[in-house]
Amino acid sequence: MSDTSAIEWTDATWNIVTGCHKLKQGCKNCFAEREWARLSAPREKPNVYTGRAFTDVACHPERLVLPVLWRKPRRVFVTSMGDPFHKDVPTEFIDKTFAVMRRARDHTFQLLTKRTERMAEYFQDPDLPYRVAKAGLEVELCGMESIPRFPLPNVWLGFSAEDQETFNERWEPLCGEAFAGWPLWLSAEPLLGHVNASAAMPNELFSNLASWQGGELKWVVAGGESGPKARPSHPDWFRSLRDQCQAAGVPFFFKQWGEWREDWGAIQDLGLRDETQIPGNGYAKIEGYTAEFYRPGKRKAGRLLDGRTWDEFPQ
């Protein structure tokens, strides 16, 4: 955890929950699990990871107050090493998280979860504002405040989806009245298939009606996979999301290609050609596509999509 971050779309990470359990294909080559081996290795001065398995989910109340102490306003990624709505995270701890985010109004908090069903259950509780106000009393430096009005303008609620199936599954719980007015965002990383998210984006026919009770995507982040077992992403999947965002006036952020880039036939053969990806070899194909991909690595693959970077943020 740090008050700075190398992640392109945030400024700091706030790891108040660490550890997780894998769900679907997007979790297969999990970055957090990859880092876990290094963080949990035996050392002279043990840390909160030492000796723990990745599936051993833990909350860290001693870290809750940190954003209140950060003076410079920043974007804060909430829990890069876990999931804030994991089933093993007590509801009372989530209440404290929201109490701190409410207190630290100068920061913008970027929550991200794959467990939108639990997030929906959490926000559907009519007693939630009272619980959050009470939780503030239990967190150092927060203290008693008035009952909060939701949505909190400095809190962005995000969810991860790697393909159309996971997008549909995780977006559906966010369509209800409880999420009306909340800034919602999508992290499509690693992107492993085409995603049509246009139905979740702003639509003048509905969002301007006083009776509209649904949520809307206000930001999309997309990226390819990195790491030794990374899978390639097709450029058309990124272009499609970008075009959907442009049509709806939604900011689009292209984080990275990942390890792989499409081969236009002018790249030297880096290894064995095969019909499926073989980690460690230089070429790969995506089922159903004729394009061939080569592996220059994350740094050389870069962040340019159609000749430019896409670093758009919500206002």
pLDDT tens, residue by residue, 121-146: 999 999 999 999 999 988 877 776 77
* pLDDT tens, residue by residue, 139-181: 877 776 778 889 999 999 999 999 999 999 999 999 988 998 8
pLDDT the model gives residue 258 = 94
Question: 166 is written with which tokens?
Answer: 């996971």
pLDDT the model gives residue 263 = 66
* pLDDT tens, residue by residue, 287-305: 888 888 888 888 888 999 9
- How far is it between the farthest Cα atoms of the chain? 64
- Answer yes or no: are the C-beta atoms of 223 and 301 closer than 8 Å: no
Share of the chain above pLDDT 90, in %: 68
Residues 6+ apart with CB under 8 A from 195: 161, 163, 164, 167, 188, 237, 240, 241
Model confidence band, residue 204 (pLDDT cutoffs 50, 70, 90): low
pLDDT the model gives residue 205 = 53
- Answer yes or no: are the C-beta atoms of 158 and 119 closer than 8 Å: no
Q: Is 93 exposed, middle or buried (0-12, 13-18, 19+ CB in 10 A)?
A: middle
Average pLDDT over residues 190-207: 84
Q: pTM of the full predicted structure? A: 0.90
How far CA 224 is from CA of 35, 94, 230, 231, 246, in Å, comes to: 18, 30, 8, 8, 20
Residues 6+ apart with CB under 8 A from 209: none
Which of the two residues, 74 and 269, has the higher pLDDT score? 74
